[in-house]
């Protein structure tokens, strides 16, 4: 151990090993098969890097992520260690050099993609080299029951046997008990020494938020954490590009990262993130990051991940240095349904497995049980939620939910599991309890059991939650051999004989929360300074009177609310307000900026312009195309057809352009549509109307004389002429 510590200090600069690192390294040096289950950030890489330096020859590291290979090789090279990778990104000349250094014994670590390992030429070359041992990183990829199954991983054992009799170390951060069994079986490691570390990351804060007004929440959160490194995960490449663009236009240093980017751009974005040239990287969930950056302070899931394993692994990229790490998931059930649709072309087994993983994800998100307790239970570890407050908390422990006495409910769940002979999963148990007479229930005659229908008064979601909490209290457990089946534990049998009081919690109804928030004003809209808002309305009225215009033409109420939220005291800050373009600033901005400056000084206010969300949409190709076509006096229907839009959708787009302060000249189109007298009638109405609402205009002007689209186009012309 003294020699190991000396090498640890000499090469890596550490004086002590963390957790199981020391015993794992000794085990590998003793040429024993080793299985390491260690959470992200706990130092798995060192477990094979140090023993590679202590032995003759080259250690093979099998890794699925090209990005992670590059990152680890760069780090090892920086420590003065000769490490290289062998994958599809290398030229023929670079491959020849790597092989030469391996055969000469100069190379200490060779990172290999599983696809490269299966090539005959590489197997032949590795047979000739002196290989010290093989490390299988991200070993959960070998299991079809895991979240990231790679068929190539199934071939690893056979190939390694061809290369020679090598000691094997398998490492993973995310393996449920079922997946652990599968890894050992597929790598032929039944006799391996297992080193299992706690999955608890005490420095991470877990929170699930309803998925509403997410863009505004994102901008506010990132600006509140200015200068901190973070990762945002999205489901699709398109969304990655959209969110990265949104952040960039709101003055946040951000970049996209997904498989569709040019390799050189992807590599540059990764390096910029590592080198702190950018603060936020936006990535696809499916592609995976493979970035070993210790000071990531937040991981945000814009979309719901496909599994708890994936979620745990991705959140694990936060706070790897042991300091603060915020993990926020935006959730709605629609995302789960969307992910289920993606599985429609898979085999029945793959679809069923994917559905089970998604069910776990939705139960975690909707549950009001301590997040940490749920995550650790999923990986087979017990946890007392009362300890959550001694760490970084989770949203549930920080804001405790409503509780209720659950003795009768848990007893009914356990009795149902017993009466159905412990051969079924959550859905079937809930169907029996609720008295659902479907064919499946009737085929087993479970509709004749005394427990059938005893819980029919309560909803399916309620019983799902009770079964889930019964699992978390260890009265039920998952069958490791038959996926999805729930069995009674010894504790559960005891409870059936002698039921005890037990506290359960009510789950959040996420869908109704989302509906409520969708009906309300957008996020942060009620946080404005009401005194300033009223004063700005008065100022608007004065400015409008002097210019002989209706007040709403100067600035609309939502714009005034934003001004009263962020106190813009310069033209640059005013330009960030929604619905305020440069034209409006030139025309109306000066008195408002001066007034807000005085108000801020008099009331000693610290301005907070960073909470405004600037829309990236204004820069979109569609908007530019529409403006250019209108400048060329192209028929509106032709413009709509060219962009695959309906006519009403095009009008929506034109209104958005107009409201953001851009002047549009639609005279060429309107003159062919309405005679001058009717145009004047509508203009006269808007000049004196208290608001620009279309419904009010139609009521006043008469629906038999004008249709909605006519009024909308004339409103655009009116605002372009007078407001922009």
pLDDT tens digits, one per residue of 569-620 = 888 888 878 778 777 888 888 999 999 998 888 877 765 444 445 554 444 5
Could you tell me whether strands 131-136 and 168-172 are parallel, antiparallel, or unpaired per DSSP bridges? parallel
Say yes or no to pLDDT of 51 above 90: yes
Say yes or no to pLDDT of 715 above 50: yes
Domain 525-611: assigned CATH number: 1.10.150.80
Is 134 in contact with 63 (CB distance < 8 Å)?
no
Contacts of residue 509, defined as CB under 8 A and 6 or more positions apart, other chains included, come to 461
List pLDDT tens digits, range 211-249. Answer: 888 888 898 899 889 889 999 999 888 899 999 998 998
CB atoms within 10 A of CB 184: 20
Long-range contacts for 362-366 (Cβ within 8 Å, ≥24 apart)?
A: 362/304, 362/333, 362/336, 363/464, 363/465, 363/468, 364/208, 364/308, 364/311, 365/208, 365/304, 365/329, 365/331, 365/510, 366/331, 366/333, 366/461, 366/465, 366/507, 366/508, 366/510
Distances (CA, A) of 298 to 203, 221, 320: 12, 10, 11
Matching CATH number, 617-722, of 2.70.170.10, 2.40.10.10, 1.10.10.1390, 1.10.287.980? 1.10.10.1390
Distances (CA, A) of 515 to 212, 312, 519: 9, 28, 6
What are the backbone dihedrals phi and psi of residue 648, each rounded to the nearest 5 degrees, phi first?
-60, -35
- In 600-628, which positions are buried (b, 16+ CB within 10 angstroms) versus exposed (e)? beeeeeeeebbbbbbebbeeeeebeebee
* Distance of alpha carbon 562 from the chain centroid: 28
Domain 204-398: assigned CATH number: 3.40.50.300
Between CA 211 and CA 334 the distance in angstroms is: 10
The confidence score (pLDDT) of residue 524 equals 36
> What are the extents of the domains in the chain?
2-196, 204-398, 403-506, 525-611, 617-722
Residue 283's H or E segment, with its range, is strand 280-284
List pLDDT tens digits, range 272-298. Answer: 998 889 999 999 875 555 566 889 999
Span 182-208, average pLDDT: 89
Is 577 in contact with 562 (CB distance < 8 Å)?
yes
Is 361 in contact with 147 (CB distance < 8 Å)?
no
Structure tokens, 694: 């279309």
Per cent of the chain over pLDDT 90 is 30
3-class DSSP assignment, residue 225: coil
Helix segments in 346-489, DSSP class H:
348-366, 371-378, 395-398, 407-419, 426-434, 439-443, 460-472
Domain 2-196: assigned CATH number: 3.40.50.300
For every residue of 376-418, DSSP letters joined together read: HHHTT----GGGGGGTT-BHHHHS---EEE-HHHHHHHHHHHH
> CATH topology of 2-196 equal to that of 204-398?
yes
- CATH 3.40.1360.10 corresponds to the domain 403-506: no
pTM value is: 0.63
The confidence score (pLDDT) of residue 500 equals 92
What are the backbone dihedrals phi and psi of residue 686, each rounded to the nearest 5 degrees, phi first?
-65, -30
Between CA 539 and CA 551 the distance in angstroms is: 9
């Amino acid at each position: 151990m003294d020699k190991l510590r000396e090498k640890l200090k000499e090469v890596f600069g550490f004086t002590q090993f963390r957790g199981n690192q020391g015993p794992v390294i000794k085990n590998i040096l003793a040429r024993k098969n080793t299985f390491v289950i260690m959470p992200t950030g706990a130092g798995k890489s060192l477990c094979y890097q140090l023993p590679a330096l202590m032995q003759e020859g080259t250690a093979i590291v099998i890794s699925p992520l090209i990005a992670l290979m590059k990152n680890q090789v760069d780090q090892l090279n920086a420590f003065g260690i000769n490490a290289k990778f062998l994958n599809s990104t290398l030229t023929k000349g670079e491959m020849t050099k790597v092989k030469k250094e391996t055969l000469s014994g100069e190379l200490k670590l060779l990172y290999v993609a599983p696809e490269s390992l299966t090539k005959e030429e590489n197997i032949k070359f590795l047979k000739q080299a002196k290989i010290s041992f093989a490390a299988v990183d991200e070993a959960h990829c070998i299991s079809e029951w895991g979240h990231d199954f790679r068929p190539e991983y199934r071939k690893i054992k056979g190939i390694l046997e061809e290369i020679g009799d090598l000691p094997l170390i398998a490492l993973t951060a995310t393996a449920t008990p079922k997946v652990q069994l599968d890894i050992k079986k597929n790598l032929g490691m039944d006799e391996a020494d297992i080193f299992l570390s706690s999955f608890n990351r005490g420095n991470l804060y877990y929170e699930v938020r309803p998925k509403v007004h997410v863009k505004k929440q994102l901008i506010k959160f990132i600006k509140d954490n200015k200068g901190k490194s973070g990762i945002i995960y999205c489901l699709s490449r398109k969304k990655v590009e959209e969110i990265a663009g949104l952040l960039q236009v709101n003055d946040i240093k951000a970049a996209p990262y997904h498989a569709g980017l040019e390799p050189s751009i992807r590599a540059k974005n990764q390096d910029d993130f590592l080198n702190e040239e950018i603060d936020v990287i936006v990535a696809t969930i499916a592609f995976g990051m493979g970035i070993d950056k210790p000071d990531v302070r937040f991981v945000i899931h814009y979309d719901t991940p496909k599994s708890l394993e994936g979620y745990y692994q991705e959140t694990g990229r936060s706070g790897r240095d042991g300091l603060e790490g915020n993990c926020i998931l935006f959730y709605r059930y629609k995302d789960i349904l969307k992910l289920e649709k993606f599985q429609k072309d898979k085999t029945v087994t793959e679809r069923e497995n994917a559905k089970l993983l998604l069910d776990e994800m939705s139960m975690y998100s909707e549950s009001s049980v301590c997040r940490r307790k749920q995550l650790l239970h999923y990986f087979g570890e017990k946890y007392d939620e009362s300890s959550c407050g001694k760490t970084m908390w989770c949203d549930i422990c920080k804001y405790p939910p409503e509780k209720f006495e659950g003795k009768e409910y848990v007893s009914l769940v356990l009795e149902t599991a017993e009466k159905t002979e412990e051969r079924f999963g959550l859905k079937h148990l809930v169907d029996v309890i609720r008295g659902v007479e479907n064919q499946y229930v009737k085929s087993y005659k479970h509709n004749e059991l005394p427990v059938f229908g005893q819980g029919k008064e309560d909803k399916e979601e309620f019983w799902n939650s009770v079964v889930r909490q019964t699992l978390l209290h260890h009265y039920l457990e998952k069958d490791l051999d038959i996926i999805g089946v729930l069995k009674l534990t010894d504790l559960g049998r005891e409870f059936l004989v002698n039921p005890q009081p037990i506290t359960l919690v009510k789950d959040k109804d996420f869908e109704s929360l989302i509906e409520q928030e969708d009906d309300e004003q957008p996020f942060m809209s009620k946080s404005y300074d009401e005194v300033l808002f009223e004063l700005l309305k008065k100022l608007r009225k004065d400015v409008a009177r002097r210019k002989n215009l209706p007040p709403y033409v100067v600035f609309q109420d939502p714009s005034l609310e934003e001004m009263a939220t962020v106190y813009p005291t310069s033209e640059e800050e005013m330009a960030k307000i929604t619905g305020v373009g440069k034209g409006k600033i030139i025309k109306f901005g000066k008195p408002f900026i001066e007034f807000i400056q005085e108000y801020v000084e008099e009331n000693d206010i610290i301005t907070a312009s960073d909470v405004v969300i600037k829309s990236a949409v204004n820069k979109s190709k569609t908007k530019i195309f529409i403006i250019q076509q209108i400048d060329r006096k192209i028929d509106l229907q032709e413009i709509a057809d060219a962009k695959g839009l309906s006519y009403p959708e095009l009008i929506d787009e034109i209104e958005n352009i107009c409201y953001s302060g851009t002047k549009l000249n639609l005279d060429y189109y309107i003159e062919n549509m309405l005679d001058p007298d009717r145009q004047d009638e509508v203009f006269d109405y808007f000049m004196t109307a208290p608001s620009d609402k279309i419904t009010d205009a139609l009521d006043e002007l008469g629906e038999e004389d004008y249709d909605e689209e006519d009024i909308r186009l004339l409103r655009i012309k009116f605002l372009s002429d007078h407001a922009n």
